[in-house]
Amino acid sequence: MLRFFPFMLLAVVAYGLTVAASGVPLSSEIAGFNLPSATRFSLTVSELLLALSTIVLFFEIMNATSAKSSSILNHGLSMLVFIACFIGFLLVPGFGTGTFLIITLMALVDVVAGYSISILTARRDMTFGGQE
């Protein structure tokens, strides 16, 4: 069941819950501290969402390396997640932000990488009779 699940949906849901349900501004500081360089580091809600989305994208790309037939369904569902993100970016108030645009682009990278990796894997695994 988890092989079919498009994990980028988790990033989109996390964004939606943060913006719509909690009403927390994306620019809110979550944590902050001084670095040895005397620079103040502060982590905002937006940056945390992007960091989590990047981690999710990594796992999606790792999942795309599977040459199983279930990966085709996963790629199709990932395409639906991207389309929903794009429509949400254009039409849903609160989703037309730079943060959500980057999450949408990550969903696009997931789709393109998924199909590309599947094609390359299938091509590598293909054998022709008489060829060594």
Identify whether 1 is part of a domain: no
Rg (CA), the chain: 18
pLDDT interval class at 115 (50, 70, 90): confident
Residue 19, domain extent: 8-125
Q: What is the mean pLDDT of the chain?
A: 87
pLDDT in tens, 34-73: 999 999 999 999 999 999 999 999 998 888 877 666 678 8
Identify whether 130 is part of a domain: no
**Model pLDDT, residue 131:** 53
Identify whether 132 is part of a domain: no
**Model pLDDT, residue 9:** 95
10: Cα separation from own chain's centroid = 8
Identify whether 3 is part of a domain: no
Number of domains in the chain: 1
pTM: 0.85
Identify whether 45 is part of a domain: yes
> Could you tell me if 78 and 61 are in contact, meaning their C-beta atoms sit under 8 angstroms apart?
no
Identify whether 50 is part of a domain: yes
Identify whether 20 is part of a domain: yes
